[in-house]
Amino acid sequence: MKKILRIINRFNLGGPTYNAAYLTKYLEPDYETLLIGGQHDESEKSSMHILDNLGLKPTIIPEMQRSLNPYKDQIAFKKIQNIIKDFKPDIVHTHAAKAGALGRRAAYKMGVKQIYHTFHGHVFHSYFGSFKTRIFKEIEKNLAKKTTKIIAISEIQKSELSKIHKICPEKKIEVIPLGFDLERFNTDKDSKRKEFRKKWNLKENEIAIGIIGRLVPIKNHKFFIDAVQEVLKKSKVPIRAFIVGDGEEKQNIVNYINNKNLDFSIDFTPATFHLTSWIKEIDRVNSGMDIICLTSLNEGTPVSLIEAQASGKPIVSTKTGGIENIVLENKTALLSEKNDLHNFSKNLLSLVNDSNKRKLFSKFGLEKSKDFQYDQLVINIKNLYEKML
């Protein structure tokens, strides 16, 4: 039996954790997998429940953290080397930037023949200044030379990596979309909706708009607040906005809402904006929502939009990263350019005011979500391994 060492940045909520967990679980019994990863940040929600539900017990490397720390990074690097020495994997497969940097270096140094890396997103624009971005690009170009295959999660991402940022030749990149277990998002939706809306004191005529994700600058929540404020001026129906998640930007977001003289709540008291922190049962959140938004400046494959479609919820989003590969524009989602407040607000208002349009988008979304089932992800990765081995 072939052995895989699968390395992920950290076990926080998001696509990389689901991806690594499903591959660890469902590549059995053909492959024996050891899953290792870093500790989630204090501002992030742990994703260990995902692993627990699948009966997985990963190895945690506390020193492998999101931020750059040469001392801790070196400790993590040495620990990965020791794990490779003991486990003797045939394949090392890394997920996301930090795991990719440490894991691929360690695998190459230890003589592992098959090294794979999945880009779940990238930091080549909108994260850092030009100097730091250039350094990260050079690091990734060097790592790509040590990698058997690089996996992009969308055709757009493949094009960005090969043609725009020139990380590696196009032929070295395989496109394999993410996969999820989406069944719970399309079951018991009516009862979940009633339960959620009762809990949050939502009236039947109120349109609930949700944005789900980490509260960090790249997610651009202030733009979401601006858009909701614009829609409030012209909406024919009352609206409530739910900011679901937590992170370093929370206080800045609260201050921004205050400065605009908009009302908000951090509990169940009715308000224009609700800051709910993390909610584990996103299927229940989506059932209670009428529209799901995303305002990011940079994305890989946003899980929240895949889950929105699986829940039959229309989407209003910025057009960035691989988003155009996971939604159907003007069928499941209305898209606009980054920071284009006029068109984003216009799109959001059109769905707020038109229940028939929301129902039509719901129908197309449910159909589109079938493209992202985890069993196809497992088949695609297994076929790639077997082809390369």
- The pLDDT, as a whole number, for residue 389 is 82
Nearest to 100 by CA among 127, 122, 83: 122
- The pLDDT, as a whole number, for residue 124 is 65
The side-by-side arrangement of strands in the sheet containing 315-318 is: 264-265, 273-277, 239-244, 207-212, 291-294, 315-318, 333-336
- The pLDDT, as a whole number, for residue 11 is 84
pLDDT at residue 125 greater than cutoff 60: no
pLDDT tens per residue, range 220-233: 999 999 999 999 99
Return all residues near 202 (Cβ < 8 A) that are at least 6 apart. 196, 208, 240, 270, 288
β-bridge mates for residue 149, sequence order: 116
Per-residue pLDDT band at 269 (split at 50, 70, 90) = very high
CATH homologous superfamily, domain 2-179+373-388: Glycogen Phosphorylase B; (3.40.50.2000)
∠ Cα 105 106 107 (to 5°): 95
Return all residues near 279 (Cβ < 8 A) that are at least 6 apart. 244, 285
Q: Going by CATH, does the domain composed of 183-372 fall within 2.40.160.10?
A: no
Using CA atoms, how far apart are residues 147 and 115, in angstroms rounded to an integer? Answer: 5
- The pLDDT, as a whole number, for residue 353 is 97
Using CA atoms, how far apart are residues 325 and 332, in angstroms rounded to an integer? Answer: 12
Using CA atoms, how far apart are residues 272 and 260, in angstroms rounded to an integer? Answer: 12
Per-residue pLDDT band at 74 (split at 50, 70, 90) = very high
Residue type, 291: I
- The pLDDT, as a whole number, for residue 301 is 76
pLDDT at residue 45 greater than cutoff 80: no
pLDDT at residue 56 greater than cutoff 70: yes
2-179+373-388 and 183-372, same CATH topology: yes
Residue type, 204: E
- The pLDDT, as a whole number, for residue 126 is 52
Residue type, 220: N
pLDDT tens per residue, range 97-122: 889 999 999 999 999 999 999 998 66
- φ, ψ of residue 272 in degrees (nearest 5): -65, -45
State the pairing for strand pair 315-318/273-277: unpaired
∠ Cα 296 299 302 (to 5°): 95
Residue with tokens 């799109």: 347
Using CA atoms, how far apart are residues 234 and 63, in angstroms rounded to an integer? Answer: 50
Return all residues near 383 (Cβ < 8 A) that are at least 6 apart. none
pLDDT tens per residue, range 177-197: 989 999 999 999 999 999 999
Return all residues near 105 (Cβ < 8 A) that are at least 6 apart. 77, 143, 146
Residue with tokens 């890989």: 300
Per-residue pLDDT band at 347 (split at 50, 70, 90) = very high
Using CA atoms, how far apart are residues 82 and 149, in angstroms rounded to an integer? Answer: 24
pLDDT at residue 40 greater than cutoff 80: no
- φ, ψ of residue 320 in degrees (nearest 5): -150, 155
pLDDT at residue 321 greater than cutoff 90: no
Return all residues near 318 (Cβ < 8 A) that are at least 6 apart. 220, 294, 295, 296, 297, 335, 336, 337, 338, 339, 340, 344
Task: Delimit the domains of the chain by residue range.
Answer: 2-179+373-388, 183-372
- φ, ψ of residue 238 in degrees (nearest 5): -70, 145
246 φ/ψ sector (left φ>0, alpha ψ -120 to 50, else beta): beta
